[in-house]
């Protein structure tokens, strides 16, 4: 399936994922859950970053995201470790899973198969199976959606996310034509440029996802930063002309009022030094709706750039090369 078709199928993925989450067979931990760790990388791991920001005001225990071979020292039998690997063969995630097993953590896996699914079945671990055969980054809707279901099962969040997800699906379906039109326009402004993504700190996970999609689908370098942090360092970098750059600023109605002012001042600094500047305004009543709106808009932008450049958005030959070289060790 073409990447364009996979991006267009996003709300369909969300609907199917909700059905999978509702029917998942999970088991309670033998020990009280005192912290949560989501381990995964790339398209499989970014959902953890986003759910961490969506739940940080409501979770009664800490939730951290791990994107490495190794686990933090705090992981023990009181830790819920969610292992997220779309392929089921991500070597860093497999090693982290082995460490979680050794530490006696409560483990739940989200995967389409591979070694992780096989190990989960062998060890009698909770396993949420999602459809396979697609690029991991195109299956965000499947992997991300399982996370609130798992957290809710363990009593760490309420069940309000279900209606929120349904409302998000309705919003995206309603706005689909507008999203694609805006995405095409923004994409035309980014070809041959260096995209720089800025947003309020609470939406950093979405900015990272956008950056990753620009990297993989559009085959371009890109970076991101968040406010107010970038006002304490990166803003000083805007003291020279940068006509090669285009700043993409996420704007959300729940951005903190002082951060909104920072965005306006930062905008003026950027424009003064010759960079392009585009605001991406989120729609939606909740942080989840705004996050997935911006995420879907970003996915379309990355695909339209690939179309304009006449390149294959799906191929990732350089990553295949990396994996092949690592396999020789």
Domain segments of the chain as ranges: 3-159, 177-309
Name the pTM for this structure. 0.96
On the 0-12 / 13-18 / 19+ scale of CB atoms within 10 A, 257 is exposed
Cis amide prior to 228 (ω within 30 degrees): yes
Which residue among 13, 200, 216, 224 is the active-site one?
A: 216
232 in catalytic set: yes
Of 60, 131, 143, 74, the C-alpha closest to 105 is 74
pLDDT for 1 beyond 80? no
pLDDT for 98 beyond 80? yes
Fold: same for 3-159 and 177-309: yes
Compute the average pLDDT of residues 142-158.
98
Which residue among 232, 240, 310, 325 is the active-site one?
A: 232
pLDDT for 88 beyond 80? yes
Which residue among 121, 123, 178, 323 is the active-site one?
A: 323
pLDDT for 302 beyond 90? yes
323 in catalytic set: yes
Compute the average pLDDT of residues 253-274.
96
Which residues in the chain belong to E strands, given as ranges?
35-39, 63-66, 79-85, 106-111, 126-129, 194-200, 223-227, 245-251, 276-281
* pLDDT tens readout for residues 204-241: 999 999 999 999 999 999 999 999 999 999 999 999 99
* pLDDT tens readout for residues 5-56: 999 999 999 999 999 999 999 999 999 999 999 999 999 999 999 999 999 9
* Average per-residue pLDDT for the chain: 97
Contact criterion met (CB below 8 Å) for 308 and 187: yes
Q: Band of the pLDDT at 294, cuts 50, 70, 90? A: very high
Contact criterion met (CB below 8 Å) for 278 and 189: yes
Compute the average pLDDT of residues 72-98.
97
Strands of the sheet with 106-111, listed across from one edge = 63-66, 35-39, 79-85, 106-111, 126-129
Compute the average pLDDT of residues 284-298.
98
CATH code: domain 3-159 is 3.40.50.10490
pLDDT of the residue at 187: 98
**Topology of the domain covering 177-309:** Rossmann fold (3.40.50)
On the 0-12 / 13-18 / 19+ scale of CB atoms within 10 A, 303 is buried
pLDDT of the residue at 76: 98
Residue 25 phi, psi dihedral angles, 5° rounding: -95, 100
pLDDT of the residue at 162: 98
> Measured between alpha carbons, how far is 158 from 154 in angstroms, rounded to an integer?
10
User: Which DSSP state fits 82?
Assistant: E
* pLDDT tens readout for residues 247-257: 999 999 999 99
Q: Which residues contact 323 (CB under 8 A, 6 or more apart)?
A: none
Compute the average pLDDT of residues 273-299.
97
175 in catalytic set: no
Compute the average pLDDT of residues 83-93.
97
pLDDT for 329 beyond 90? no
């Amino acid at each position: 399936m073409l990447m364009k078709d996979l991006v267009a199928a996003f709300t369909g993925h969300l609907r199917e994922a909700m059905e999978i989450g509702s029917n998942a067979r999970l088991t309670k931990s033998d020990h009280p859950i005192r912290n949560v760790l989501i381990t995964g990388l790339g398209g499989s791991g970014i959902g953890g970053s986003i759910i961490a920001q969506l739940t940080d005001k409501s979770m009664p225990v800490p939730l951290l995201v791990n994107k490495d071979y190794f686990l933090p020292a705090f992981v023990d039998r009181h830790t819920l470790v969610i292992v997220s690997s779309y392929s089921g063969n991500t070597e860093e995630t497999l090693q982290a899973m082995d460490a979680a097993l050794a530490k006696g953590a409560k483990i739940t896996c989200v995967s389409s198969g591979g070694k992780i699914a096989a190990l989960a079945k062998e060890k009698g671990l909770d396993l949420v199976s999602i459809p396979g055969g697609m690029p991991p980054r195109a299956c965000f809707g499947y992997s991300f959606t399982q996370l609130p279901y798992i957290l809710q099962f363990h009593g760490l969040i309420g069940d309000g996310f279900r209606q929120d997800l349904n409302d998000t699906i309705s919003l995206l379906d309603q706005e689909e034509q507008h999203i694609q039109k805006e995405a095409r326009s923004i994409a035309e402004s980014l070809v041959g440029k260096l995209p720089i993504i800025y947003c309020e700190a609470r939406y950093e996970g979405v900015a990272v996802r956008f950056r990753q999609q620009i990297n993989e689908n559009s085959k371009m370098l890109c970076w991101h930063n968040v406010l107010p942090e970038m006002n304490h360092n990166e803003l000083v970098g805007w003291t020279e002309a940068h006509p090669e750059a285009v700043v993409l600023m996420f704007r959300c109605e729940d951005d903190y009022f002082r951060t909104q002012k920072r965005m306006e001042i930062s905008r003026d600094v950027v424009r003064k030094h010759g960079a392009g500047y585009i605001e991406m305004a989120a729609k939606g009543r909740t942080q989840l709706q705004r996050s997935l709106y911006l995420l879907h808009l970003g996915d379309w932008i990355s695909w339209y750039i690939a179309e304009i450049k006449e390149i294959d958005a799906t191929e990732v030959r350089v990553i295949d090369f990396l994996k092949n070289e690592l396999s020789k060790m």
